[in-house]
Amino acid sequence: MKKVITLFAILGLLVPMFGLDFPMPEHQFAQGEWKLLGDRLYQLDKDEPLAKANIKIPQAGPMVYAFNVRYEGGGEDMHGGFGIHVFADSVHPRKSWGNGKSYLLWLNYDADPVSADIPKGLSAQVYRSISHTRMDLVESIDLNDYAYLLTADNLNTAVPVRIVINGLTGRVRIYSDLYPGYYVYFDIGDGKPMKGEWIALRTNGMAASFGM
Residue 20 has pLDDT above 80, yes or no: no
The β-bridge relationship of strands 207-211 and 195-204 is unpaired
Residue 11 has pLDDT above 60, yes or no: no
Residue 75 CB: number of other CB atoms within 10 A? 18
b/e string for 8-22 if b means 16 or more Cβ within 10 A? bbbbbbbbeeeeeee
CA pair distance 171, 197, nearest whole angstrom: 19
38: left (phi over 0), alpha (psi -120 to 50) or beta: left
Residue 208 has pLDDT above 70, yes or no: yes
* 74, 207 Cβ separation under 8 angstroms: yes
Which one, of 164, 170, 163, lies nearest residue 191 by Cα?
A: 170
The most distant pair of C-alpha atoms in the chain lies apart, rounded to whole Å, by 46
Burial of 38 (0-12, 13-18, 19+ CB in 10 A): exposed
Max mean pLDDT among 19-28, 177-186, 192-201 falls in: 192-201
Q: What is residue 19's predicted lDDT score, i.e. its pLDDT?
A: 31
49, 163, 173, 208 from 26: Cα distances, Å: 24, 22, 27, 22
| Complete domains list, the chain, with CATH | 3-211 (2.60.120.560)
Q: What is residue 22's predicted lDDT score, i.e. its pLDDT?
A: 43
Residue 96 has pLDDT above 80, yes or no: yes
Residue 203 has pLDDT above 90, yes or no: yes
Helix (H) or strand (E) holding 11: helix 7-11
Residue 89 has pLDDT above 90, yes or no: yes
Look at 27-36, 178-187, 199-208 and tell me which has the smallest mean pLDDT: 178-187
Q: What is residue 129's predicted lDDT score, i.e. its pLDDT?
A: 97
Residue 155 has pLDDT above 50, yes or no: yes
Look at 89-98, 115-124, 130-139, 151-160 and tell me which has the smallest mean pLDDT: 151-160
